[in-house]
Amino acid sequence: MKTHSAQSNRAGAALAIFRHKFFLTLGLGLAALLILSSQKADAQTRFRSFPIRGGSGPFAITMGADGNFWFTLSNSSEVARITPQGQISYFVTPASSNPAFITPGPDGNIWFGEGSTGKIASITPAGNITEFQFSFFGVSVGITTGSDGNIWFTDQTDHAVWRFDLSSGMFTEFKTPTPNSFPGDITTGSDGNMWFTEGAVDKFGRITPNGVITEFTGVSSPTSIAAGPDGNLWVASAFVAQVARVTPTGDITLFPTPSQPTIIRPGNRNNLLFTEFSASKFASITTSGVVTESAEFIHSFPEGITAGTGSQVWFLGTGTNRVYETVVPR
């Protein structure tokens, strides 16, 4: 365990950029080689889409406490805000950061990992960004608000999970038992622990608020993880068409999916939502494992997804460089 102040260290970005790109390749990039031939979309599918300015690389999206949707743009080192009406505002990070996953914080701000700076950052509803340094070469990817009210995030360079204490400004590092595990996505479970993926070693992990880590096997190439409304954890497999339901004690049930899932997040009802990059679709899975797939959003190649209000779904089309708003498939 290692503890130090947020003010210490200045990032060396070269290695960090490489590690961040490795994560995208490991967890999501292979899907680009599996692009399916386009099919005619269901004419009954009702959706809106909003263009994102070119070359920005949309990745992850979340709904903020302000009722807007916030998403990261990894290629342009920006965070963007889109209103429910579709108006987009862009905010450039102070450092060339390759922002990754994004989450609402306990302070009313939005927090995100800066994949190539050794920093994490927060952005206020008004768009003011503050960065916090935790290492020289760290690659912060997944991020979540912990049950203790602190910010927890993964670091691929040091195969670690970090805790950022908002009250003291101190970082504490907890290394994973398995070296070179490249921890990715992270979420807070109903058991009060934080759960994260280790896609490079076919494991996922649980970390207590005190920093005790337990690793689990049984899910192939876990890439994304979410807490379900049933109190279980739900894990997407990067290279296998399946989603796993994991109890807080580590019992695993596997459910087949039509295509490889990409990013999984809590849904609007008793379900979870996940994107299918290679199929240009998204899907809903109930807590009993029933999967319903959307129509194809041609050439969209979606990654980030989040539930909106009611039955709305918002997701990012990396192929079309657009934000989509639609409804849960029935």
Kindly report, residue by residue over 219-247, the tens digit of the pLDDT: 999 999 999 999 999 999 999 999 999 99
Is the pLDDT assigned to residue 9 strictly greater than 80?
no
CA–CA dist 236, 218 (Å, integer): 12
Amino acid at residue number 167 = S
Pairing of strands 264-266, 271-276: antiparallel
Mean residue pLDDT across the chain: 88
User: What is the C-alpha to C-alpha distance for residues 292 and 285, in angstroms, rounded to an integer?
Assistant: 6
Quote the tokens at residue 268: 């609007």
- The edge-to-edge listing of strands for the beta sheet with 322-327 is 48-51, 322-327, 312-317, 302-307
Residue 6's pLDDT band, with cuts at 50, 70 and 90, is very low
Cα–Cα distance measured from residue 277 to residue 112, given in angstroms and rounded to the nearest whole number: 22
pLDDT at position 102, please? 98
Q: What is the pLDDT of residue 39?
A: 34
CATH number of the 2-36+43-327 domain: 2.130.10.10
Given a cut of 80, is residue 8 above it in pLDDT?
A: no
- Of 25-29, 258-262, 319-323, which range is least confident? 25-29
b/e sequence 82-114, b meaning 16+ C-beta within 10 Å: beeeeebeebebebebbbbbbbbbeeebbbbbb
Q: Which of 83, 86, 164 is nearest to 118 (CA)?
A: 164
Question: For residue 25, what pLDDT is reported?
Answer: 40
Could you tell me the pTM of the whole model?
0.88
| Residues 116, 93, 75, 241, CA torsion sign | positive
The two structure tokens encoding residue 68: 């807007």
Contact 308/268 with Cβ under 8 angstroms?
Answer: yes
Question: Does the pLDDT at position 5 exceed 60?
Answer: no
Residue 4 has pLDDT above 80, yes or no: no
Coil, strand or helix at 313: strand
pLDDT, tens only, 50-93:
999 988 999 999 999 999 999 999 999 999 999 999 999 999 99
pLDDT at 329 (0 to 100): 83
What local confidence, expressed as pLDDT, does residue 22 receive?
Answer: 37
Residues 6+ apart with CB under 8 A from 93: 77, 78, 79, 99, 114, 121, 129, 131
Residues 69 and 314: beta-carbon distance below 8 Å: yes
Q: Which pLDDT score, from 0 to 100, does residue 82 have?
A: 98
Reported as a single tens digit per residue, the pLDDT across 253-273 is 999 999 999 999 999 989 999
Q: Which amino acid is at 236?
A: A
At residue 123, the pLDDT reads 98
The angle subtended at Cα 118 by Cα 131 and Cα 147, nearest 5°, is 70
Distance CA 254, CA 260 (A): 13
The torsion angles phi and psi of 96, rounded to 5 degrees, stand at -75, 95
Structure tokens that stand for 245 in this block: 């339901």
Segment 284-288 shows an average pLDDT of 97
